[in-house]
A and B are shown apart, each in its own frame.
Chain A
Amino acid sequence: MKGLYAWLLYLFPKTYREEYGDELQAVFELSLEDAMEAGGLEVARVTLHELFSMPKAIIQAHLRERRKRKMSGKFASRFDFEPGSRNETFAALTPFLFGMVMVFIGYLGRYLTFPLWVQIVFVILFWSTVLGLFLLGSAKGLPRCFLPYLGVLLAIAALLLFNILVNFRLDVWWHRSLGWGNYFNFGNFLWLGLILLVILLLAIAGFVPRFRPFYQRLRDDWTLLSFLLYGTVSLMLLLIFDEYVNAEPFIALSLLMLALGGWFYLRGDAPFKRFLSLQAGLMLSMLVASAGKVFLLTVWSRFQFLNFVLKDELFFNLETWLWLAAIMSLPLLLNLLPHSNRAVRA
């Protein structure tokens, strides 16, 4: 019975067990010894009483621990990662690595016929993780490992903005009324929207006092903004492979390239070296995406005008790459702005 009780104590939270485990066991043993003197019936009564009251006590202990963690901010402090640590790297690369896993699950789901609800659960899990970690990162003042999450959300905002323009038929107006379609494709408004959002983000960070420390950090290390924008690439990859069938392995491989670039960024010392790591990650990912398109179009598709379609698709990849590379280089301009705050502090 004493052994069973000791085993049941493992159902209590670890910290609670460390605090009261020995006492609980000792008091139970004393109660049992007293009951033994009174006879078998008393032993059974004490044992049953202990066993029946335990579930409630276990639940209360867990709730108490949770409350304590909330109050002391212990949960949040678990996410205080040392720069360059394994945990920081893992947190920063989660949008790419987790995205990779999700893409593979989607791919397998198609062939292994996963029920729809399993896929829905995974999608919800992915987005709630991204959103949850972003909110957590925001609460902690957005340390660099949470910046790619903001990038993912920025890309979603840019896509929404672009969709609004399309819904208002502005693309039709652009091509027909002005006749500039030949010189500037309406699709490029997606990138202009992204640039606009970056400027808006910088303006908010610079002018709203609450976000000033974040702005100051971006000014002190301009590559942070590049890293934030690096997060947008993961979503843009899905755009590149829009309407493609069996593209998942290539998307996953492209995401792996991005994760690799991110890894080198987090390990790098010199700002320019870190910036180049991101650009290399972007380039590799786009190369893989292009190779994927060539493979998918030549092996799987039955296009009559294959060369034309391939050329068009590869041009779209090139265009996407150049835009993303240019947008990720924007923070270089930020570095050129005068560091007024620093001068004041000095």
Chain B
Amino acid sequence: MTDPLSYLPLTEPTFYILLSLAPGKKHGYAILKDVRQLSGGRIRLSTSTLYTAIGRLLDQELIERLDEEAQEPGPGLPRKSYALTDLGRRVLEAETVRLQGMVREARLRLREGGA
């Protein structure tokens, strides 16, 4: 079984892409908008950057491509959607734990410094 820790640390865009897919499958444009929203507008992925990341995550088997039609109706919508794989979810969880640990340590040190 692949060790999720071997994928860490994740880059910020990768983390947000995986996080965007945590609740369920999404198509490309929904991921793009969600990443912007999740990062408070800080990370604005271009279409080509998004699909470069998607391609890499597919290769790493952290996400999977679903061939079914996208749920939301509308003209010009991408036909494919993407979902987290089990490995992708475990990697996201491992990264969250790592970040939590970092934040906890940082808070502790800052509190010590401030005291």
Cα-based distance from A147 to B32 in the complex (angstroms) = 54
Query: Is B78 among interface residues, defined by CB-CB distance under 8 A?
Result: yes
B48 near A50: Cβ-Cβ < 8 Å: yes
Stretch in B16-24, B52-60, B93-101 touching the partner: B52-60
B29 near A31: Cβ-Cβ < 8 Å: yes
Q: Known contacts being A61-B55, A64-B55, A64-B59, is A26 close to B46, with CB within 8 Å?
A: no
A16 near B28: Cβ-Cβ < 8 Å: no
Identify which of B52, B56, B59, B78 contacts A27 (C-beta below 8 A).
B78
Identify which of A20, A29, A30, A52 contacts B51 (C-beta below 8 A).
A20
- Contacts of B59 on A, CB cut-off 8 Å? 64, 68
Query: Is A80 among interface residues, defined by CB-CB distance under 8 A?
Result: no
- Contacts of B56 on A, CB cut-off 8 Å? 64
Q: Which of B46, B50, B54, B76 has the most CB of A within 10 A?
A: B46
**Distance from B74 Cβ to chain A, minimum over Cβ atoms (Å):** 9
Query: Is B44 among interface residues, defined by CB-CB distance under 8 A?
Result: yes
A23 near B52: Cβ-Cβ < 8 Å: no
Range of interface residues on chain B?
20 to 34
Query: Is A201 among interface residues, defined by CB-CB distance under 8 A?
Result: no
- Contacts of B49 on A, CB cut-off 8 Å? 53, 56-57
Range of interface residues on chain A?
20 to 34
Bitwise, B49-92 to A at CB < 8 A (1) or not (0) is: 11110111001000000000000000011111000000000000
- Contacts of B51 on A, CB cut-off 8 Å? 20, 23-24, 27, 57
**Distance from A50 Cβ to chain B, minimum over Cβ atoms (Å):** 5
Query: Is A138 among interface residues, defined by CB-CB distance under 8 A?
Result: no
List A residues 18-37 near B (Cβ within 8 Å).
Answer: 19-20, 22-24, 26-31
Cα-based distance from A28 to B46 in the complex (angstroms) = 8
A54 near B79: Cβ-Cβ < 8 Å: no
Identify which of A29, A30, A50 contacts B46 (C-beta below 8 A).
A50
B44, closest chain A residue (CB): A49
**Distance from B12 Cβ to chain A, minimum over Cβ atoms (Å):** 15
Query: Is B47 among interface residues, defined by CB-CB distance under 8 A?
Result: yes
A24 near B48: Cβ-Cβ < 8 Å: yes
Identify which of A23, A28, A61 contacts B80 (C-beta below 8 A).
A23
- Contacts of B79 on A, CB cut-off 8 Å? 22-23
A27 near B50: Cβ-Cβ < 8 Å: yes
Cα-based distance from A29 to B75 in the complex (angstroms) = 10
A23 near B28: Cβ-Cβ < 8 Å: yes
Cα-based distance from A53 to B44 in the complex (angstroms) = 11
Query: Is A246 among interface residues, defined by CB-CB distance under 8 A?
Result: no
Cα-based distance from A30 to B79 in the complex (angstroms) = 13
Q: Known contacts being A16-B55, A54-B48, A57-B51, is A26 close to B78, with CB within 8 Å?
A: yes
B55 near A20: Cβ-Cβ < 8 Å: yes
Cα-based distance from A16 to B49 in the complex (angstroms) = 13
**Distance from A41 Cβ to chain B, minimum over Cβ atoms (Å):** 14
- Contacts of A27 on B, CB cut-off 8 Å? 28-29, 32, 47, 50-51, 78
A53 near B46: Cβ-Cβ < 8 Å: yes
**Distance from A2 Cβ to chain B, minimum over Cβ atoms (Å):** 10
Bitwise, B36-50 to A at CB < 8 A (1) or not (0) is: 000000001011111
Identify which of B48, B54, B77, B80 contacts A53 (C-beta below 8 A).
B48
A residues sitting closer than 8 Å to B (CB atoms) are 16, 19-20, 22-24, 26-31, 49-50, 52-54, 56-58, 60-61, 64, 68
User: 4 additional contacts, CB 8 Å, given A57-B48, A64-B52?
Assistant: A23-B51, A27-B50, A50-B48, A64-B59
23 residue pairs A–B, Cβ–Cβ below 8 Å: A20-B51, A20-B55, A22-B79, A23-B28, A23-B51, A23-B79, A24-B48, A26-B77, A26-B78, A27-B28, A27-B29, A30-B29, A30-B76, A31-B29, A31-B47, A57-B46, A57-B48, A57-B49, A57-B51, A57-B52, A60-B52, A61-B52, A64-B56
B residues sitting closer than 8 Å to A (CB atoms) are 28-29, 32, 44, 46-52, 54-56, 59, 76-80
